[in-house]
Amino acid sequence: MDLGSESLRLRIKQLLEKPGNGNCVDCKAADPEWASYTLGVLVCHTCSGLHRNIPQISKVKSLLLDPWNSSELEFIDSMGNNAAKAKYENIVPAFYYCPTSRDCLLLKEQWIRAKYERKEFMCVEKQEAYSTGYKEGFLWKRGRDNGQYLSRKFILSEREGVLKYFNKLDAKEPKATLKISSVNAVFQPDKIGTAHGLQITYLKDNSTRNVFVYHEDGKEIVDWFNAIRAARLHYLQVAFPGASNSELLPKVTRKFLNEGYMEKTGPKHTEGFKKRWFTMDDRRLMYFKDPLDAFARGEVFIGSKGNGYSVLPGLPSNVQGNHWLYGITIKTPERSFLFACETAKDQKDWMAAFQLVINRPMLPQEYAVEAYFKHKP
């Protein structure tokens, strides 16, 4: 039976007011306007499009624009987002990355497929691809010098505490060994130029190195991401035995605080300004000639205001040579660093990122990193 428009509006309003239904069941976006009448959940516009990729499992309609009958709404009412989460997210491992509305499409799509299509969180045996502490396989890796992507064998071993890759199939020794203690992974589809692009960073001699990889299969690259997260969480649990999972999870993997182009000048402030790609990773400000370079041309440690660090908009009046107008000055105990941004919005975003770390007191282990930067040749 189809409902009249007034009674339909009332039923939908009541559905949306039920606890849990005010946010998308998959990415937590506020005020979902779509629903799956086969799963009984409310979803946002973006996730509704991803549900259409699994039509044998989920059929979606707009709550506002499509016709509804009473049996469909009754089923959604009987299930709803909270009950669906209890069913389909019953055993999500602590390390598993649950995407939000701000995450890339790939993470959302694989989360939706993992929940409803593969039912990975209803049966622990279905999580072996990322939860055993060991993973090996082939990923396309960007070459450091020529920018070509070549198939490379990768092995993640939690027992050894490393992620390593090999340049040749029969190679006995890995081309590089990345210690889990310093590894980070973040999806970078726009920067890498593929929807499945993953940026892995690690420290070598306390300097950041980048590895850019992808896999044609979306599930496979997300499984690698979660396998790295699993190894990272276990490493942190051993390194900080007194800490709770809720304290450790933000440290498992992290997104960069900001990225983009700025102009910079040298230590004397008399050299010409050069355009460089900058990445703010926690307290490390790195700059690169190209966004996909394997390692930074330089890194700056940004401490806290209690330790003599500050950030100001603008440049000293005697400074010349910047093409971009929106300046930023970072003062450290040793020297000042001068940057110029192309737009007022870029300046505001960079100022906010710098202010965030400067306002945060330094942790004991960060003093050791600061000392290394001070004595770097």
Looking at the structure, tell me whether residues 166 and 195 fall in a common domain: yes
Q: What pLDDT sits at residue 180?
A: 98
Residue 352 burial (CB count, 10 A): 12
Looking at the structure, tell me whether residues 97 and 154 fall in a common domain: no
Where does the pLDDT of residue 373 fall: very low under 50, low under 70, confident under 90, or very high at 90 and above?
confident
The first and second tokens of residue 74, run together, are 């009754």
Q: What pLDDT sits at residue 375?
A: 75
Q: Is the pLDDT at 273 greater than 80, yes or no?
A: yes
- Side-chain-side CA neighbours of 328 within 13 Å: the count stands at 23
Q: Is 126 within the bounds of a domain?
A: no
Q: Distance from CA of residue 311 to its chain's centroid?
A: 26
Residue 84 burial (CB count, 10 A): 21
Q: What is the mean pLDDT of residues 270-274?
A: 88
Looking at the structure, tell me whether residues 202 and 265 fall in a common domain: no
Q: E strands of 47-148, at which residues?
A: 60-62, 134-142
Q: What is the mean pLDDT of the chain?
A: 94
Digit-coded pLDDT (tens) for 194-230: 999 999 999 998 899 999 999 999 999 999 999 999 9
Residue type, 374: K
Q: Of 220, 225, 228, 95, whose CA–CA distance to 157 is shortest? A: 228
Q: Is the pLDDT at 242 greater than 60, yes or no?
A: yes
Looking at the structure, tell me whether residues 167 and 82 fall in a common domain: no
What is the Cα–Cα distance from 126 to 338, expressed in whole angstroms? 52
Question: How many domains does the chain divide into?
Answer: 3
The H-or-E segment that residue 81 falls in is helix 80-88
What is the Cα–Cα distance from 276 to 278, expressed in whole angstroms? 6
Digit-coded pLDDT (tens) for 37-48: 999 999 999 999
Q: Is the pLDDT at 3 greater than 60, yes or no?
A: no
Looking at the structure, tell me whether residues 185 and 241 fall in a common domain: yes
Specify whether the backbone of 308 is left (phi greater than 0), alpha (psi in -120 to 50) or beta. Answer: left
Q: Is the pLDDT at 1 greater than 80, yes or no?
A: no
DSSP calls for 281-341:
ETTEEEEESSTT-SB-SEEEE---GGGT-EEEES--TT----SSSEEEEEE-SS-EEEEEE
DSSP calls for 162-229:
EEEEESSTT-SS-SEEEEGGG-EEEE-HHHHTSTT-EEEEEEETTEEEEEEEE-SSHHHHHHHHHHHH
Q: What is the mean pLDDT of residues 118-142?
A: 95
Q: What pLDDT sits at residue 4?
A: 61
Of 82, 117, 152, the position where a domain reaches its end is: 117
Digit-coded pLDDT (tens) for 83-107: 999 999 999 999 999 999 999 999 9
Q: What pLDDT sits at residue 136?
A: 96
Residue type, 286: M
Q: Of 255, 234, 254, whose CA–CA distance to 93 is shortest? A: 234
Looking at the structure, tell me whether residues 168 and 240 fall in a common domain: yes
Digit-coded pLDDT (tens) for 65-86: 898 888 999 999 999 999 999 9
CA distances from 12 to 22, 44, 64 (A): 11, 15, 9
CATH of the domain at 29: 1.10.220.150
Structural domain span for residue 177? 132-251
Looking at the structure, tell me whether residues 102 and 188 fall in a common domain: no
Of 233, 251, 269, the position where a domain reaches its end is: 251
Looking at the structure, tell me whether residues 138 and 241 fall in a common domain: yes
Q: Report percent pLDDT > 70 for the chain.
A: 98
Where does the pLDDT of residue 372 fall: very low under 50, low under 70, confident under 90, or very high at 90 and above?
confident
Of 217, 251, 285, the position where a domain reaches its end is: 251
Digit-coded pLDDT (tens) for 275-317: 999 999 999 999 999 999 999 999 999 999 999 999 999 999 9
Q: What pLDDT sits at residue 9?
A: 81
Looking at the structure, tell me whether residues 78 and 101 fall in a common domain: yes
Q: What is the mean pLDDT of residues 174-182?
A: 96
Q: What pLDDT sits at residue 11?
A: 85
Q: Is the pLDDT at 349 greater than 80, yes or no?
A: yes
Q: What pLDDT sits at residue 36?
A: 98
